[in-house]
């Protein structure tokens, strides 16, 4: 639920990938963020207040995180009250999608009001197995509820199954690497070698330490403490359970503190092996070091011709020397922060990697062993104009008609921070492109479209939807049971549909 837009260079790289088409520049995406946002703190040119996606600052910062704020400033980072403002550089309070002490998910912000309108049908326990074509035109999808299959017709088919399942559906529909499809006996409709490639994610390196006393949320996050926090929340809508649980964050380049950040670090006031789950009863802190612009690339491939079987995933974390260099330098920087006068007195003992790991080589080996997913997979149906691109600047699947992909899989490169907010902004921008194409059947300037459904156009004119639409939700997707390769499988947080953005597993 952390609200992070990213950096200007992220979106300008998207625009470059499509040679300036489609309006994917930072300026265009900035307008999408502003339109969606309902910020309760910042009322300036960097933020929106009239949208439906609530954003708020923490209502309080625990003592341990206050020490972190001071220590990072002593280390040399500026205090930055708003990393979604003029610059990302600095140490900051975390901005979260919370309103009235509850998470403001994409379901709450965008979907629920339309479910009540009768214009949208949501099918649960239903899996899309393939896209149905007549010649090279998509005319619907085949779905299964586990016991029976049926077809749903559509004038436009939009896949929003995320960076794992969107390429999987395309491949089962005959769109993907030719030889790979032929190996499973799938008829090749379009030889698209980029489908399933370009998988990348933010690798996380959790550095942890014990702290003195009962600082942080270690006792609150497990056992009886969790029950007490839950009761407090139910009775008063207050206490630790009423917030994000992660209250401060820092962004920096460990090789140049004045440069654009290459590292994100959440200061999690529990001790944890994976950066999320509390380990033991002793109080501690985990610094979630995240490589913001990883160059490593993995892949998604079919495991069989059975569309109900989960795909193979190779995330290839820390597979590029750039990622390893950034990770190693971030660990060294973090140790410098822990040695600052505001934090050193409360750091009792470094747990992971521990005092035995000192040289760059030792740190590198530890990083390669422990790096794991931040649940931000993107890129497997990337947009572009080159032969390896899966979709064009309007997110239309190349080689067929009436089929688009709208989710984080279309990102040519990952954004610098949590992908939840950029994926929602991406979806809004894509919807405007779809509307433009619907009305004109040719490329229009996106800025000519209305900026909000409450404009002078009716809702039907704004959305371009001529009849009720269906959203498909799958238990398999929500459970995130993906096949392992050499590392733990991804749980896909890049999905636009409600089951992903509403899940507590996405961040």
Average pLDDT over residues 329-347: 98
Q: What is the CA radius of gyration of the chain?
A: 23
**Is 375 among the annotated ligand-binding positions?**
yes
For position 100, what pLDDT does the model report?
A: 87
Q: Check whether 489 has a pLDDT greater than 90.
A: no
Q: Check whether 275 has a pLDDT greater than 90.
A: no
For position 393, what pLDDT does the model report?
A: 98
CB 399 within 8 A of CB 192: yes
Q: Check whether 353 has a pLDDT greater than 80.
A: yes
Q: Check whether 491 has a pLDDT greater than 70.
A: no
CB 406 within 8 A of CB 427: yes
For position 447, what pLDDT does the model report?
A: 44
Minimal CA–CA distance to 138: which of 390, 402, 470?
A: 402
Strand locations in 260-379 (E): 263-268, 284-291, 299-301, 312-314, 347-352, 372-373
Q: Check whether 473 has a pLDDT greater than 60.
A: no
For position 117, what pLDDT does the model report?
A: 84
For position 465, what pLDDT does the model report?
A: 33
Q: Check whether 377 has a pLDDT greater than 80.
A: yes
On average, the pLDDT of the chain sits at: 85
- Residue with the bigger pLDDT between 439 and 254: it is 254
Q: Is 182 helix (H, G, I), strand (E, B) or coil?
A: helix
Residue 367, φ and ψ in degrees, nearest 5: -60, -45
Q: Check whether 276 has a pLDDT greater than 90.
A: no
- Residue with the bigger pLDDT between 278 and 379: it is 379
- Residue with the bigger pLDDT between 8 and 506: it is 8
pLDDT in tens, 27-63: 999 999 999 999 999 999 999 999 999 999 998 899 9
Catalytic member of 376, 429, 477, 490? 376
Dist CA 202 CA 374 (whole Å): 6
Per-residue pLDDT band at 453 (split at 50, 70, 90) = very low
Strand locations in 212-346 (E): 248-252, 263-268, 284-291, 299-301, 312-314
For position 366, what pLDDT does the model report?
A: 98
**Is 128 among the annotated ligand-binding positions?**
yes
User: Angle, nearest 10°, between helix axes 420-440 and 26-36?
Assistant: 100
Q: Check whether 160 has a pLDDT greater than 50.
A: yes
Dist CA 292 CA 312 (whole Å): 24
Q: Check whether 235 has a pLDDT greater than 70.
A: no
In sequence order, the 6+-apart residues with CB closer than 8 A to the CB of 71 are 337, 338, 340, 341, 342, 343, 344
Average the pLDDT over each of 382-386, 416-420, 472-476 and give the range with the smallest value: 472-476
For position 476, what pLDDT does the model report?
A: 36
**Length of the chain counted residue by residue:** 507
Q: Check whether 488 has a pLDDT greater than 60.
A: no
Cβ neighbours, 10 Å, residue 399: 13
Average pLDDT over residues 62-88: 97
- Residue with the bigger pLDDT between 246 and 47: it is 47
Tokens 């080159």 belong to which residue? 386
293 to 3, 206, 240, 267: CA distances (angstroms): 18, 17, 32, 20
Q: Check whether 83 has a pLDDT greater than 80.
A: yes
Q: Strand pairing of 284-291 and 157-159? A: unpaired
Q: Strand pairing of 190-191 and 175-176? A: parallel
pLDDT in tens, 309-320: 999 999 999 999
Q: Check whether 16 has a pLDDT greater than 60.
A: yes
For position 493, what pLDDT does the model report?
A: 38
Cβ neighbours, 10 Å, residue 26: 18
**Is 376 among the annotated ligand-binding positions?**
yes
Which domains, ranges and CATH numbers included, belong to the chain? Answer: 59-93+203-296+318-370 (3.30.410.40), 123-199+298-314+375-413 (3.50.50.60)
Among the residues of 289-447, which ranges form H helices?
321-338, 360-370, 420-440
Dist CA 198 CA 411 (whole Å): 9
Active site residue 46: no
Q: Which helix (H) or strand (E) holds 122?
A: strand 120-123
102 to 92, 99, 237, 242, 418: CA distances (angstroms): 22, 5, 9, 7, 19
Among the residues of 175-270, which ranges form H helices?
178-183, 223-236
pLDDT in tens, 121-147: 899 999 999 999 999 999 999 999 888
Residue 467 token pair: 């009849």
Dist CA 128 CA 357 (whole Å): 47
Dist CA 389 CA 384 (whole Å): 5
For position 183, what pLDDT does the model report?
A: 98
């Amino acid at each position: 639920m952390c609200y992070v837009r990213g950096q200007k260079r992220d979106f300008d790289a998207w625009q470059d990938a499509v040679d300036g088409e489609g309006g994917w520049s930072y300026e265009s995406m900035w307008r999408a963020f502003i339109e969606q946002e309902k910020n309760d703190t910042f009322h300036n040119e960097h933020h929106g207040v009239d949208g439906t996606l609530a954003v708020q600052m923490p209502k309080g910062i625990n003592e341990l995180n206050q020490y972190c704020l001071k220590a990072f400033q002593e280390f040399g980072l500026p205090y930055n009250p708003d990393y979604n403002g003029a610059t990302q550089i600095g140490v900051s309070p975390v901005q979260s999608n919370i309103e009235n002490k509850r998470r403001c998910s994409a379901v709450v912000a965008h979907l629920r009001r339309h479910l009540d309108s009768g214009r949208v049908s949501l099918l649960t326990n239903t899996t899309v197995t393939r896209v149905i074509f007549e010649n090279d035109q998509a005319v619907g999808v085949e779905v299964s509820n586990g016991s029976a299959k049926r077809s749903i017709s559509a004038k436009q088919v939009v896949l929003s199954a995320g960076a794992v399942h969107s390429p999987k559906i395309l491949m089962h529909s005959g769109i993907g690497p030719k030889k790979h499809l032929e190996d499973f006996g799938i008829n090749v409709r379009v030889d698209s070698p980029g489908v399933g490639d370009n998988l990348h994610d933010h690798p996380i390196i959790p550095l942890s330490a014990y702290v003195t006393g009962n600082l942080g949320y270690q006792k609150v996050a497990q056992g009886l403490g969790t029950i007490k926090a839950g009761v407090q929340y139910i009775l008063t809508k207050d206490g630790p359970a009423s917030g994000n649980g992660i209250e401060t964050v820092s962004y920096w380049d460990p090789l140049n503190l004045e440069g654009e950040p290459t590292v994100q670090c959440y200061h999690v006031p529990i001790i944890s092996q994976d950066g999320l789950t509390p380990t033991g009863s002793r109080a501690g802190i985990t610094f979630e070091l995240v490589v913001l612009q990883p160059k490593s690339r993995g892949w998604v491939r079919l495991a069989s011709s059975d569309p109900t079987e989960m795909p193979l995933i190779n995330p290839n974390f820390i597979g590029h020397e750039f990622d390893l260099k950034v990770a190693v330098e971030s660990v060294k920087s973090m140790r410098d922060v822990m040695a600052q006068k505001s934090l050193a007195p409360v750091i009792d003992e470094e747990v992971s990697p521990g005092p035995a790991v000192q040289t760059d080589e030792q740190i590198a080996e530890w990083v390669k062993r422990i790096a794991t997913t931040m649940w931000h997979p993107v890129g497997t149906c990337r947009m572009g104009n080159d032969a390896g691109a899966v979709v064009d600047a309007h997110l239309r699947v190349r080689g067929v008609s009436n089929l688009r992909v709208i989710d984080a899989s279309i990102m040519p490169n990952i954004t610098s921070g949590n992908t939840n907010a950029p994926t929602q902004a991406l979806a809004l921008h894509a919807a405007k492109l779809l509307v433009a194409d619907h009305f004109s059947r040719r490329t229009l300037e996106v800025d000519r479209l209305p900026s909000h459904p409450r404009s002078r156009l009716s809702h039907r004119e704004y959305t371009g939807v001529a009849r009720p639409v269906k959203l498909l939700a799958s238990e398999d997707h929500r459970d995130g049971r993906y096949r392992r390769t050499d590392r733990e499988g991804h749980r896909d947080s890049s999905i636009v549909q409600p089951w992903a953005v509403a899940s507590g597993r996405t961040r």
